[in-house]
Amino acid sequence: MKKLLSTKEVAQLLGVNEKMVYTLVSEKGLPATKITGKWLFPGHLVDQWIETHTINYPETATHPPFNQGLLIITGSNDILLDRTISLFNTIHPDPVAVFGNLGSMGGLKALRQNLCHMASSHLLQENEAEYNFDFATQELDRMPAVVNFCKREQGLLVQKGNPKKISVIADLARPDIKIVNRPLGTGTRLLFDRELNKAGINGDHIDGYHHEVYRHLDVGLEILSGGADAGPGIRPVAGILNLNFISLRWERYDLLMKKDRFFDKGVQFFLGLLHERAFLEMAENFEGYDVTLSGKMLFP
C-alpha cells in the first residue's frame, strides 16, 4: 500500500505552513482525502502533483538532430499515431520519424529540454473542458504551437462479454475485480485517478492498481490473456482485440511543438499528412477515433 502523509508531513515536504496546505487542496488541486475527520495525502499522488506543477526545468543548448535526418516525436502512446508514423516513413524517407513512449507529461518535459520536435499529449485540465494548455504553460517557458492529431474515446477495457458485469468505475472496488493500470505521468492515468477520486475510491484498495503497463495495447493484451478483468484504455484497442468497452469520455489528443521548430521540413510534412486521404482512411478502420479536427491549429 502506498504511504499516506499527514498535513504536517506535506507541509514539511513543500516547505509551507499547514494552513497553506489546505489552500493548495482547495485552490490548486493538491490530492487529499478526508478519513475520520483528518486530511490524509497519498504520497505518490503528491509526488505526481509536484511534478505536474514544476515549470523551471533547466534550458539545454542542444536542438533535435534534424541534420541527422530524424523527426523525433515523444509523449502519449496511440495506435493511430503509430500507424501514421509508419505511413510517414513510407512516403517521406527523409527525415525518418521515430517515437519515444514517455507518456504525456514525459513528452512535455522532452519538449522543454529540446529532446524532441513534437510532443503528443491528452492531459485533461481541472475544468474538464480543455486539454494540454494549462500543462504546457506550466511546463514550458512559452506556449508552444498546438495542432490536433485526433479525438479519441477513453474508458475501461473489459473482458469479452463483460463476465464480471462491470458498468461503472465504482465496480472496480469490488473484491472479485482485478485491474491493470497505466503509469503515472500518462494522460490515461490522470483521467483514471480523477474518476476514481470522483467515485470516492482509493486506488490502493483495488487489486492490480499498481500493476502498470506502458501501452494501451498492453492493457488490452493483459485483459485478453485473463491476467486482469479491466483496465483504463482507448476504444480502438477494444475493437482490435474484440474486448468490451465502457466509455468515460471523448478526449482531444494533440501535437505540441516549439514555434521555432514549427516550419521545419519534417514537422510540416508530418502535419500535412493529417489532411491526406490516406490518413483519414486509416482512421476509419478503427472504432473510437474522430478526425474532424485533425491537422487544425489550436494555438496560436
Using CA atoms, how far apart are residues 248 and 262, in angstroms rounded to an integer? 33
Mean pLDDT of 3-28: 82
Range scoring the smallest mean pLDDT among 28-32, 119-123, 237-241: 28-32
66, pLDDT greater than 70: no
**3-class SS at 292?**
coil
pLDDT band at 57 (very low <50, low <70, confident <90, very high): very low
51, pLDDT greater than 90: no
Which pLDDT value is given to residue 67? Answer: 52
19, pLDDT greater than 80: no
Which pLDDT value is given to residue 63? Answer: 55
Which pLDDT value is given to residue 61? Answer: 46
34, pLDDT greater than 50: yes
Between residues 265 and 48, the one the model is more confident about = 265
Give yes or no for a contact between 297 and 147, defined as CB atoms under 8 angstroms apart: yes
Whether residue 232 is preceded by a cis peptide bond, meaning omega within 30 degrees of 0, is no
User: Which 8-state DSSP code applies to residue 76?
Assistant: S
Average pLDDT over all residues of the chain? 89
Which pLDDT value is given to residue 83? Answer: 97
Name the burial class of residue 191, with classes exposed (0-12), middle (13-18) and buried (19+) by CB atoms within 10 angstroms of its CB. Answer: buried
Residue with cell 527525415: 95
Helices (H) and strands (E) in the chain, counts: 11, 11
54, pLDDT greater than 70: no
Q: What is the pLDDT of residues 227-247, one digit of tens each?
A: 999 999 999 999 999 999 999
Q: What is the pLDDT of residues 216-227, one digit of tens each?
A: 999 999 999 999
Mean pLDDT of 119-136: 91
Residue with cell 482485478: 178
Give the helix ranges, DSSP H, for the chain: 7-14, 18-28, 43-52, 79-91, 103-112, 133-139, 187-198, 216-224, 235-241, 265-273, 277-284
Beta-carbon contacts of residue 77 (< 8 Å; ≥ 6 apart): 101, 103, 186, 214, 215, 216
Class of domain 154-250 as given by CATH? alpha beta
**What count of Cα atoms within 13 Å lies in the side-chain half-sphere of residue 41?**
25
Mean pLDDT of 155-162: 96
Residue with cell 505511413: 87
Residue with cell 486539454: 131
Range scoring the smallest mean pLDDT among 42-46, 90-94, 117-121, 178-182: 42-46
Q: What is the pLDDT of residues 173-198, one digit of tens each?
A: 999 999 999 998 899 999 999 999 99
Cα distances (Å, whole numbers) of residue 112 to 65, 96, 257:
15, 22, 10
CA angle 136, 142, 145 (to 5 degrees): 65
Class of domain 66-151+252-299 as given by CATH? alpha beta
Which pLDDT value is given to residue 22? Answer: 79
Which pLDDT value is given to residue 271? Answer: 94
- The top-scoring range by mean pLDDT among 7-16, 26-35, 50-59, 198-207 is 198-207
Query: Closest Cα partner for 188 from 140, 233, 227, 157?
Result: 233
Using CA atoms, how far apart are residues 203 and 201, in angstroms rounded to an integer? 6
Range scoring the smallest mean pLDDT among 47-61, 98-112, 138-152, 180-194: 47-61
31, pLDDT greater than 80: yes
CA angle 239, 242, 246 (to 5 degrees): 70
